[in-house]
A and B are shown apart, each in its own frame.
Chain A
Amino acid sequence: MRIGVLAVQGAFEEHEQMLRALGAECFEIRQRSDLSGRMDGLVLPGGESTVMGKLLRELGLFQPLWKKIESGLPVLATCAGLILLAERISGEEGSHLGTLPVTVKRNAYGRQLGSFRTEAEMKHIGTIPMHFIRAPYVEKVGSDVEVLAEVDGRIVAVRYKNQLALSFHPEVSGDTSVHRYFLRMCENARGDF
């Protein structure tokens, strides 16, 4: 299993460590030439979505990644990654990749003082620790979007086709179950993206 991790900014190393511990091979995506090899899955990590969105475009990554996601490449997106995938961003014009039919609200819990940790049930996985750091949540979902987890009535995890998107950060929680679920998605999707 060969997983590409978007590494233009943010907590990408944490994802790599987790995936490697589960036996997957990882490579970092920092520019277009990094996309030449085989890729069975893609991780869009946490970080600042404004920075990542801008660098995706300026480093020539936007089109090729968009195409791969549209053609079914499995994606795990956490926090800023969720914002990159969302079709609409609440209160803002425009979006980034826009492949996930949801409306997402940025900094939905306020500033750093609003960051929190909790445990909640995630469908198909079970109860897991969830770390929310200046996190977004999903305000609205399109049809065919499966809601996987809610915390206090807010949607914090969704799946649409091969896109798995979370408000929180499994990569810093020490719990590998989300990454294991994602690798199973990649296993099942095996194709030429």
Chain B
Amino acid sequence: MAANYWASTQRRHWLFTREKLAEVRDKQREKDMVAHTQFPLPDQRMLNIYFSQQLTKLGKKTSTRQQALATAQIYIKRFYTKNEIRHTNPYLVLATAFYLACKMEECPQHIRLVVGEARSLWPDFIAPDVSKVGECEFFLISEMSSQMIVHHPYRTLTELQRELALTSDEVALAWSVINDHYLTDLPLLHAPHVIAVMAIIVAVVFKPSQAGFHGSAAPALAGAMRDGGVNMLTALNDKNGGGPPPRVQKLIGWLAESEVDIHAVVECTQELVSLYEVWEQYSEKNCKELLSRMVRTQRLDK
């Protein structure tokens, strides 16, 4: 449970195969084909980037720690595996997931404060009445079957920091890679320690030249990973290859001895590469407009 990911509800109920996840989402779409045609939305990852940026704004206003934002992002993902986004007011879901995650991560914010800040960020979509968030909280918890304890890769990263003798730069980069993985489906597809190992590998292999990451690792990594990604993946798979530098070699050695699923790690890396590619096309304006139209036309904000 809480210390034991293997017995956790996260592993038992919120871990999907790619096929299963696609099936779940198809089911949502089939529920309302009309709305899907009527209200096109950007790629899920684009929406995730948008949601994450909005949550970060809310988090900044309330000085909330990253882990609570990460938990909120997981709640949003879980919720939308059970509900068609086109039937919801995503801004209300965002604010509520944030409010609930803060309580769960033991850094609670008063509901009035959350509603107030959310309203100042998205005045057109959040009602002044706190009962909307209170009601949406019931909805979120119910859809998640009260399974609200989330295991994050940050913990594994912290635990492996010493064992793998990671530098603070590497930890910072790995940390921001973990931040980025919430923009993908990876949290629903892989165990947190697999994500953490992926983040460490990426950080060690693509040690970026520029220091100081804030939030995302995308700017520093996107190019490097695209250019060097193939080499790294080869290196990981080819344990006898003489190519990689000693530091990477050492990491590969550790990986081989650990029981981490290397194929899963490779898959996660590819997912991240593809996220950074998609990101280049990201337009906040586009997300905002499409969501606005979807919410307003259907009067989901009322």
State yes or no: do A and B come from one complex: no
Binding site for B on A (CB under 8 A): none
Binding site for A on B (CB under 8 A): none
